Structure 1
Amino acid sequence: MQGALAAESHEQGRTLCVRFNQTGGCFACGTEAGIRVYNCDPFKETIRRNFGVSQSRAGRGHSQGSADQAGGLCTFGGIGIVEMLFRSNLFAIVGGGDFPAFPTEKVLVWDDHQCKWIGELGFHSKVLGVRLRRDKIVVALKNKIFIYNFEDLKQLQQLESVDNPFGLCALSSQQDKAVLVCPGLQVGQIRIEHLDHRRSNFINQAHTSSLACLALSLDGNLVASASEKGTLIRIWRTAPKETTGEFLEQELRRGSDRAQIYSVAFSPSNTYLAATSSKGTVHIWPVVPAQSPNESPSTVWRRLVPDYFNSKWSLAQYRLGDESTSACSFGSKENVLVIVTASGKFHKIQFDLSEGGECRKISFQKFNS
């Protein structure tokens, strides 16, 4: 298999991706040299694995990785996607960066306890997203979503999608509820796949422009979505209400100017939702179930006024200090949030549940050295 486990090295180069595990208790980074895994509470590096591959540097400019100066060869390999399976020793890994450790058309399964590769999936185009649960692995390509049985990597299902350049897909982690959410067949459409029942729901015109972010709650009952405009985040039910058939629960406003939503996370009890964006800010909202039309006297008024007035502004905010790609996850407490950035910064913050406002920084670490 291409790529061998290299000697431990502090030369990790750029961070190419950051990703929390399913419960938010730890996170993994893909770098130009391999993978790193960190515990959130307390903050601590727990795994460092570098994957080496020799590639010529001729005409490629300066490289941050370790290199054989005499032969002009780089001896490191980049990881563009790393997905953890809870706190187990299993990882799904895809090559990335200027010098990928492995072909970007492959998903490799790494067993860190045995320090060896135990599975491989190959495709005809670049892998853009991977999600894991204990019984399934989901792989997103530009226009397809593949679903496999995790134990033997047997293909279970294949879905078509509209162009999906971010590899968007979200997979519930609860054992008794297998829900997959991904872009549908039209721009702005959300597909909700109930995998155990082979039943699909489509939310048409969830957004008027292409989807840029999708996230599921831990129980698989709610999904949050944002479009490439990045001004609104909408919360939907994964099953329609029995009384109305409606999916929409709530509409949240990040701001009025465009931004890329990097990540969205629900708190464990679905009481709060947080989002990070290219503006270098974090916003937190309370999640309030939508009223039925019969209970809301303002229903007619809401149809007449612009969305700007219908959407809810954030309760609490925090500034990260940089605009690099970021991911967020709630901690064990409802009012504690953890944010990690591709620039190598770890933020743990706390917000006031009733007053909101500016969040308080609990701890801060740099981890890209």
Structure 2
Amino acid sequence: MEAGLSAGEGADGAAANICCLSYNQDCTSLAVGMKSGYKLFSLCSVDKLDMVHESYEISDVYIVERLFSSSLVVVVSRSKPRQMNVFHFKKGTEICNYNYSANILSIRLNRQRLVVCLEESIYIHNIKDMKLLKTLLDTPRNSSGLCALSINHSNSYLAFPGSSSAGEVLLYDANSLKTECTIPAHDSPLAAIAFNSTGTKLASASEKGTVIRVFSIPEGQKLYEFRRGMKRYVSIGSLLFSTDSQFLCASSNTETVHIFKLEQFPERSEDNSSWTGYVGKMFMAASNYLPAKVSDMMNQDRAFATVRLPFCGQRNACALVTIQKLPRLLVASAGGHLYIYNLDPQDGGECVLIKDRSLIDSGKSETDRGREAEVPAPVSYAASLARPSTASSPSTVAGYSEDGGTLRGELIPEHEFADGPVRLDDEREFPPISLCRGSQKVRDDGP
């Protein structure tokens, strides 16, 4: 999914407050960036939409990313588009913030790495201590900040455009800090890319938006090819695998969401003498003699299931999840709503809308808001835990420029770090919060 949604695309004045929408890595949480701040919602029930946290300390939030179900959240504001702020929201403390040489376009997180994407460069941090490990300079121009980071604990594959004029995907190993391969995915420039939960598959779509392809990782071999449509080009803004990698969801600027099923059909047996089998064999044989583009079109699979959204033209973010033991499709819209659909995993077809939740009005009660108002203003993580520092103010640190950027290829943390790494598995550093998985409440001991 793309990191930000343009403000003002909502259907009314309240919805115009929304700047971005993003799910966390396992789609158990939804983050909403607004002109007034940001909100985090838990996605554990279809009956209610629980707000986990809200903050109004930073305005015009166009990037907000949460690390799984931990208290770590990364925020970028339009007032300081070159600054990344990392917070521990349960403690109300700031871990650090970094300034970059250009506007931040997207941020991706997993348990090992934090990736910051600018238009022509990418920064890779070690998430345990937020130190910079690698800077990829002079990457192909990437005006939308398109990139994807695998979330499996055993790998950290990073994918981003390998060309600004063609649909190449450059696959980079963010753990070993080495390039894996370049995948010639499409003829036209890329519009969307996404890893599955295990980092073994990568889906891609081009600016045309008619064909979606799935490749094996790290080999880069094409596994599946799906046709979204033929009549018109569309802008695909959300591309996401289900957690079990059985389905792939794609949404665009049209009113239709397509869900594809990743399955291998059995080969037709030679002794199949039925009329259907005969036609099928003739159809496949004929495709061998047709031009490549026509043959590919004949062999492409259509959508397994679809959704007809109650709006058109609004940016949205989709997720395929299991809530209360049933498969669901979630569609969060820039119009300020979260739509929840039931998905039939056997027969597919048209998905059924079961809930429509407001992202503007949902949340805590007035009592909860009153309690939260009593919480003191956030204190920097460094101020509370680090050794006293005599470092100069940001405007006098070497490499810092008055326009808020840094020298090329450099970045400056505005606060000193605490001694030792940020221990994401230490409850004293990042106390886990309770989340519902399925129909049972469990205590997440994740990052």
Name the TM tier (shorter chain).
0.7 to 0.9
Structure having greater relative contact order (Cα 8 Å, sep ≥ 6): 2
Single out whichever of 31-40 and 110-119 deviates more from structure 2.
110-119
CA RMSD of aligned residues (A): 2.3
Q: Aligned ranges for residues 330-345 of structure 1 at < 5 Å?
A: 330-332=320-322, 335-345=327-337
Q: Unpaired segments of 5 or more residues in structure 1?
A: 1-10, 53-76, 241-245
The CA deviation at 1:313 is 1.1
Matched, 1:15 2:18: yes
Matched, 1:270 2:273: no
1:181 alignment partner, one of 137, 156, 159 = 159
Q: Unpaired segments of 5 or more residues in structure 2?
A: 1-13, 268-280, 362-447
Single out whichever of 116-125 and 306-315 deviates more from structure 2.
306-315
**3-state DSSP of counterpart to 1:206:** strand
The CA deviation at 1:326 is 0.9
- Following the alignment from structure 1 to structure 2, what is the Cα–Cα distance between the partners of residues 115 and 20? 21
Matched, 1:29 2:32: yes
- Whether the 8 Å contact between 2:124 and 2:174 is mirrored in structure 1 is no
Cα offsets for 1:90-125 (capped at 9, x unmatched): 1111112xxx3xx10111101101212211121111
Q: Aligned ranges for residues 108-147 of structure 1 at < 5 Å?
A: 108-147=85-124
**3-state DSSP of counterpart to 2:158:** strand
4+ runs deviating over 6 angstroms: none
1:171 alignment partner, one of 145, 149, 164 = 149
The CA deviation at 1:300 is 3.6
Question: Which residue number corresponds to residue 203 of structure 1?
Answer: 182
2:67 alignment partner, one of 81, 85, 89 = 85
Q: Aligned ranges for residues 204-283 of structure 1 at < 5 Å?
A: 204-240=183-219, 247-256=221-230, 257-283=232-258
The CA deviation at 1:158 is 2.1
Q: Relative to 1, partners in 2 of residues 1:137 and 1:255: Cα closer, same or farther, differing over 3 Å? A: same
The residue type paired with residue 165 of structure 1 is S
- Whether the 8 Å contact between 1:93 and 1:109 is mirrored in structure 2 is yes
Q: Relative to 1, partners in 2 of residues 1:300 and 1:198: Cα closer, same or farther, differing over 3 Å? A: farther
Cα offsets for 1:77-101 (capped at 9, x unmatched): 21000011001111111112xxx3x
Matched, 1:351 2:329: no
**3-state DSSP of counterpart to 2:144:** coil
Structure richer in helix, relative to its length: 2
The size of the alignment, in residue pairs, is: 322
- Whether the 8 Å contact between 2:338 and 2:356 is mirrored in structure 1 is yes
Q: Aligned ranges for residues 306-345 of structure 1 at < 5 Å?
A: 306=294, 307-322=296-311, 323-332=313-322, 335-345=327-337
Q: TM-score, normalised by structure 1?
A: 0.81
The residue type paired with residue 181 of structure 1 is A
State the structure with more CA Rg. Answer: 2
- Whether the 8 Å contact between 1:174 and 1:220 is mirrored in structure 2 is yes
**3-state DSSP of counterpart to 1:308:** helix
- Whether the 8 Å contact between 1:12 and 1:31 is mirrored in structure 2 is no
Q: Relative to 1, partners in 2 of residues 1:334 and 1:261: Cα closer, same or farther, differing over 3 Å? A: farther
- Following the alignment from structure 2 to structure 1, what is the Cα–Cα distance between the partners of residues 336 and 257? 17
Question: Which residue number corresponds to residue 50 of structure 1?
Answer: 56
The CA deviation at 1:231 is 1.2
Structure richer in strand, relative to its length: 1
- Whether the 8 Å contact between 1:13 and 1:33 is mirrored in structure 2 is no
**3-state DSSP of counterpart to 1:180:** strand
The residue type paired with residue 253 of structure 1 is R
The residue type paired with residue 310 of structure 1 is N
